[in-house]
């Protein structure tokens, strides 16, 4: 059973619409991350989340992006007003971080393919 | 912006060939280096977590070495099989503890 699942697997949305991507970890991990990969480009870091707040964010993660854990379980990425250039695969990742089990490798979800038209 | 580079970008080998590829990363403020295997239509899976200079890790026919002083890691595959075909990603973890990924090396093993 995967450590983390993502929904939806594919989302098509019109430019300017809001989208919410969801990530559901199986276990109680400490660190949550969102990455994206635009077709043909490298995996890019968006944001990390620890202890119910953002710990780091990249320059890509501007005001149109937000993250939260609304019920202490799901981890969501919201894009308020999508642009064509937001089309990408979005990956949620989780890890124990430096504490807990002492493991630092990340477990990835299957990704959500976002297509903005 | 951290510079994590992988080479080559893609590689085609014949079944049975041994191969290797490189991940280069900043040599300062090192915490760990991860290698991930990413098959098409699946999510990346961790192969190795490497933390010490001189580390060598092995899993079956796949092994990796680490040189933190000069900022590189090699991934080796001995006797490549078609099922080894995947993209291999490395991720550098520095002082922020956030994995920064390279672009990946796409390996295709021809039967």
Q: Identify the weakest region by mean pLDDT among A9-18, A96-105, B15-24, B90-99.
A: A96-105
Quick one: average pLDDT of A68-81?
Answer: 88
Inform me whether the C-beta atom of residue A111 falls under 8 Å from chain B C-beta atoms.
Answer: yes
Select from A57, A29, A28, A63 the least CA-distant residue to A45: A57
- Residue A100: the pLDDT is 35
- Residue B3: the pLDDT is 84
Quick one: average pLDDT of B32-39?
Answer: 91
Inform me whether the C-beta atom of residue A50 falls under 8 Å from chain B C-beta atoms.
Answer: no
Q: How far is CA A83 from CA A11, A20, A64, A90, B42, in A?
A: 14, 14, 10, 15, 26
Does residue A98 carry a pLDDT above 70? Answer: no
Mean pLDDT of chain B: 91
Quick one: average pLDDT of A74-87?
Answer: 94
Band of the pLDDT at B41, cuts 50, 70, 90?
Answer: confident
Beta bridge partners of residue B24, listed in sequence order = B5, B72
Cα-to-chain-centroid distance, residue B59: 13
Q: Of A105 and A110, which is predicted with more confidence?
A: A110
Q: Using CB atoms, pick whichever of A42, A44, A104 lies closest to residue B32.
A: A104
DSSP H helices in chain A: none
At a CB cut-off of 8 Å and minimum separation 6, what does A31 contact?
A48, A49, A50, A55, A94, A95, A96, A97, B97
CB contact under 8 A, A45 and B91: no
Does residue B69 carry a pLDDT above 80? Answer: yes
Chain B residues with CB-CB distance to A under 8 A? 31-32, 34, 36, 42-46, 49, 89, 91, 93, 96-104
- Residue B40: the pLDDT is 78
φ, ψ of residue B83 to 5 degrees: the values are: -70, -10
Q: Using CB atoms, pick whichever of B43, B46, B98 lies closest to residue A105.
A: B46
Q: H/E element holding B42?
A: none
CB atoms within 10 A of CB A94: 24
CB pairs under 8 A between A and B: 50
What whole-number distance in Å separates Cα of residue B31 and Cα of residue B68? 9
What whole-number distance in Å separates Cα of residue A35 and Cα of residue B96? 16
In tens, the pLDDT along A13-65 reads 999 999 999 998 777 667 888 999 888 887 888 998 887 889 888 889 999 99
- Residue A101: the pLDDT is 37
Give the pairing type, strands B99-101 and A65-68.
Answer: unpaired
Beta bridge partners of residue A75, listed in sequence order = A23
Does residue A1 carry a pLDDT above 70? Answer: no
Q: Of A111 and B100, which is predicted with more confidence?
A: A111
- Residue A96: the pLDDT is 66
């Amino acid at each position: 059973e995967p450590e983390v699942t993502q929904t939806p697997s594919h989302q098509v949305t019109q430019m300017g619409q809001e989208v919410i991507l969801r990530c559901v970890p199986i276990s109680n991990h400490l660190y949550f991350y969102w990455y994206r990969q635009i077709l043909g480009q490298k995996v890019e870091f968006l944001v990390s989340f620890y202890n119910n707040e953002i710990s780091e964010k990249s320059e890509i993660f501007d005001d149109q992006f937000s993250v939260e854990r609304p019920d202490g379980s799901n981890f969501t990425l919201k894009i308020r007003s999508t642009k064509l250039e937001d089309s990408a695969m979005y990956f949620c990742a989780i890890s124990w971080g430096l504490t807990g089990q002492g493991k630092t490798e990340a477990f990835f979800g299957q990704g959500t393919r976002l297509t903005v038209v | 912006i951290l510079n994590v580079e992988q080479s080559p970008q893609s590689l085609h080998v014949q079944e049975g060939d041994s191969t290797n590829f490189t991940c280069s990363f900043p040599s300062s403020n090192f915490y760990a280096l991860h290698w991930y295997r990413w098959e098409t239509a699946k999510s990346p899976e961790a192969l190795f977590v490497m933390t010490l200079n001189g580390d060598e890790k092995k899993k079956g026919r796949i092994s990796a070495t680490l040189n933190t002083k000069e900022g590189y890691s090699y991934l080796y595959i001995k006797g490549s099989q078609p099922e080894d075909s995947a993209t291999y990603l490395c991720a550098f973890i520095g002082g922020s503890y956030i994995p920064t990924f390279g672009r990946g090396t796409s390996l295709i093993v021809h039967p």
